[in-house]
Amino acid sequence: MTGNEIRKKFFDYFAQKNHQIVRSSSLVPQDDPTLLFTNAGMVQFKRVFLGEEKRAYNRAATSQKCLRAGGKHNDLENVGYTARHHTFFEMLGNFSFGDYFKKEAIGYAWELLVDGLGLAPKDLWITVYLDDEEAFEIWRDHIGVDPERIVRLGEKDNFWSMGETGPCGPCSEILIDRGAAAGCGSPDCMPGCECDRYLEIWNLVFMQYNRSEDGQMTPLPRPSIDTGMGLERIASIIQDVPTNFDTDLFTPVIQVIESLSGRQMGVDDPTDVAVKVIADHSRAAAFLIGDGVLPSNEGRGYVLRRIMRRAIRYGRNIGLTEPFLHKTVEPVFEIMKEAYPELFEDRVFITNVVKNEEVRFLETLDHGLKLLAETMEQMQRENSTVVPGEVIFKLYDTFGFPVDIVRDVVRDKGLDLDMDGFDKAMAQRREQSRSVTAFSSISEAYRNFSASTDQRPEFVGYDRLSCDSALML
Ligand code: ATP
Ligand code: MG
Ligand code: MG
Ligand code: MG
């Protein structure tokens, strides 16, 4: 079954269960300042869950364009290194707005996976939230899952929330055991492990609360259902391939990367990482630009810029020194034409935007990489393992390197980044500048990123490449 066929099968199943098939909303959330990008299927229904909006239907199903690069759910730096993470992906979801609840949601998911898509129950595992006896019993008694295959996990895995505020609730997930070879090899490897062995396919969220800014949880008007299954992950299982990148949703993109670079996947790890990063980021760039985001120095535009520059830098690792990204986005239009015809319509514009960004970054990339290499040599001579903040700032400010790129370059070398020093250098630059307007937007962008509790805030500010006028006044 192709990715397109799986998407359709999902819709057909839920249409037959009286769900309204609703189009994906934009990657840019409508009127929701709490969120940088749509990161799950429920985002377009947030107000419906909160009881602020009524729809003509109380059951829906979607295939939602999602982006997880920044904010609470941030997978940017996972991409390339796991079998299952993307920045841009499609989330298949069914929703109940105060209609059915746990029992039906669990029954539908199991029936579709096992009877509809042919997954073997012997490979499936279930997780439930710590004290969710009701979900545990439904799985054991109604579905007949062996209780040894039902694992209780805590907040991190089994309590879902869109962001720091908004609808949330305990959840139950369906995982598939991809075999020991797919995992970390630890004898303690169990569902909940960060490795790819127990691959999480479908999250069933029992939407029950609204979390407010002060952390208080108030019950929603009516308990609801919100589910999410990654299309690329389920495709990897059905197509019986080791990673999402081996599915038909990616192979045409990967073939173009292989032919441009003359490298093959499956020969060495660094090549595989680079190819996966480029393939993933090509899709993300195409869809972001398609949804009206343009590369810039703040907010959403800076996330797009970071994604593209990360791909361009990884291109260097496999010998791609000429502009290439505008060519690796091409196959995305064709693959996605059936589901997203509007993306295909916009292909010329999208390709041009990508090319402009590449040409511009390539002007400074080599100089920046040289500075970083020299810095690392010097660090080695001095037995230091911390990249100085001033260098990170210079790379950012003069050479247009988002901090992720520096982190990517040093990640396998066991080096740390002096982010305090970076902050200081940034503050100094701030004092030097007489431009107030440029910086008010930086602190704005800062707040967007620091919405995440478990991550340090990241700069999504300017770089000198295009902000000279604002900074050098
Ligand atoms: P993981 O633990 O693997 O990072 P998650 O728990 O963060 O996944 P959820 O927030 O529960 O994921 O999202 C619902 C579903 O969306 C997941 O079960 C998975 O199938 C899919 N999904 C989540 N993040 C990604 C991603 N970065 N790339 C591709 N699919 C994803
Ligand atoms: Mg995750
Ligand atoms: Mg998870
Ligand atoms: Mg999950």
- pLDDT tens by residue, 390-443: 999 999 999 999 999 999 999 889 999 999 999 999 999 888 885 544 444 444
Residue minimizing CA distance to atom 23 of ligand 1: 230
3-state secondary structure of 217: strand
Cα–ligand 4 centroid distance for 322 (angstroms):
39
Ligand 1: residue whose CA is nearest its atom 21: 230
- Amino acid 432: pLDDT: 86
As a whole number, mean pLDDT of residues 176-190 equals 96
Distance 144 CA to ligand 3 centre (A): 23
86 CA closest ligand 1 atom index:
28
Q: Which amino acid is located at 430 in the chain?
A: R
Tokens coding 125: 């595992």
Exposed/middle/buried for 330, CB within 10 Å: 0-12, 13-18, 19+? middle
In the chain the domains, ranked by start, together with CATH numbers, are 3-238 (3.30.930.10), 250-471 (no CATH)
Terminal C-alpha separation, the chain:
58
For residues 90 and 332, the answer to whether their CB atoms sit within 8 Å is no
Closest ligand by atom to 85 CA: 1
Beta strands in 154-305 (DSSP E): 159-161, 166-177, 198-211, 217-230
| Whole-complex ipTM | 0.99
Residue 202 CA: which ligand 1 atom is closest? Answer: 18
Ligand 1 center–CA 288 separation, angstroms? 19
For residue 268, give Cα distances in angstroms to 152, 274, 282, 321. 37, 10, 21, 20
**pLDDT (0 to 100) of residue 430:** 87
Q: What is the pTM of this model?
A: 0.90
Q: State the DSSP H helix or E strand holding residue 96, giving kind and residue range, or none if neither.
A: strand 88-96
Q: How far apart are CA 358 and CA 121, in angstroms?
A: 47
The pLDDT of 152-161, averaged and rounded, is 95
Q: Which atom of ligand 1 is nearest to the CA of 200?
A: 18
| Whole-angstrom distance, CA of residue 44 vs CA of residue 325 | 30
| Four-residue CA torsion sign, 320, 3, 60, 202 | negative
pLDDT surpassing 60 at residue 448? no
Q: With cut-offs at 50, 70 and 90, classify the pLDDT of residue 450.
A: very low
pLDDT of 330 > 50? The answer is: yes
Q: 220 and 205 in contact (C-beta within 8 Å)?
A: no
What's the gap in Å between 383 CA and the centre of ligand 2?
Answer: 36
Is the pLDDT at 362 greater than 50? The verdict is yes
What confidence score (pLDDT) does residue 435 get? 57
Question: What is the mean pLDDT of the segment spanning 125-129?
Answer: 98
- The C-alpha atoms of residue 98 and residue 49 are separated, in whole angstroms, by 8
State the pLDDT at residue 379: 96
Distance CA 413, CA 407 (A): 10
User: What confidence tens digit (pLDDT) does each residue in 231-278 have?
Assistant: 999 999 999 999 999 999 999 999 999 999 999 999 999 999 999 999
How much is the pLDDT for 59? Answer: 98
User: What mean pLDDT do residues 137-151 have?
Assistant: 98
Q: Is the pLDDT of residue 444 over 90?
A: no
Provide mean pLDDT across the span 333-355: 98
Query: What's the burial of 165, exposed, middle or buried (CB within 10 Å: 0-12/13-18/19+)?
Result: middle
Mean pLDDT rounded to a whole number for the chain: 91
Say how many Å lie between the CA of residue 75 and the centre of ligand 1.
9
Tokens encoding 254: 């990967």
d(CA 409, CA 415): 10
pLDDT at 162: 81
Q: Which protein residue has the closest C-alpha to ligand 1 atom 13?
A: 228
pLDDT on residue 32: 84
Q: What is the pLDDT of residue 434?
A: 59
In this structure, the residues whose C-beta lies within 6 A of any atom of ligand 1 are: 68, 73, 75, 84-86, 89, 91, 160, 200-203, 228-230, 232-233
Please compute the mean of the pLDDT values over residues 151-163 and round it to a whole number: 93
- CA 87 to ligand 1: nearest atom: 27
Ligand 3 (ion): which residues have CB within 5 A?
Answer: 200
- Please answer whether residues 172 and 129 qualify as being in contact, where contact means their C-beta atoms are separated by less than 8 angstroms: yes
20-32 tens-digit pLDDT: 999 999 999 998 8
Three-point CA angle 58, 118, 145, nearest 5°: 75
Among 38, 84, 153, 171, which residue has the most ligand 1 atoms within 8 Å of its CB, making it the best to mutate?
84
CB 418 within 8 A of CB 388: yes
Three-state secondary structure string covering 246-289: HCCCCHHHHHHHHHHHCCCCCCCHHHHHHHHHHHHHHHHHHHHH
At 33 the pLDDT is 82
Token pair 């997930």 in the structure block, residue: 173
Side-chain-side CA neighbours of residue 460 (13 Å): 28
Best of 72, 127, 233, 234 for a ligand 1 pocket test (most atoms within 8 Å of beta carbon): 233
Which residue has the CA at smallest separation from atom 19 of ligand 1? 230
Tell me, what's the pLDDT at 99? Answer: 97
For residue 48, which phi and psi values (nearest 5 degrees)? Answer: -70, -45
Phi/psi at 157 (5° precision): -95, -35
The burial class, CB within 10 Å (0-12 / 13-18 / 19+), for 422 is buried
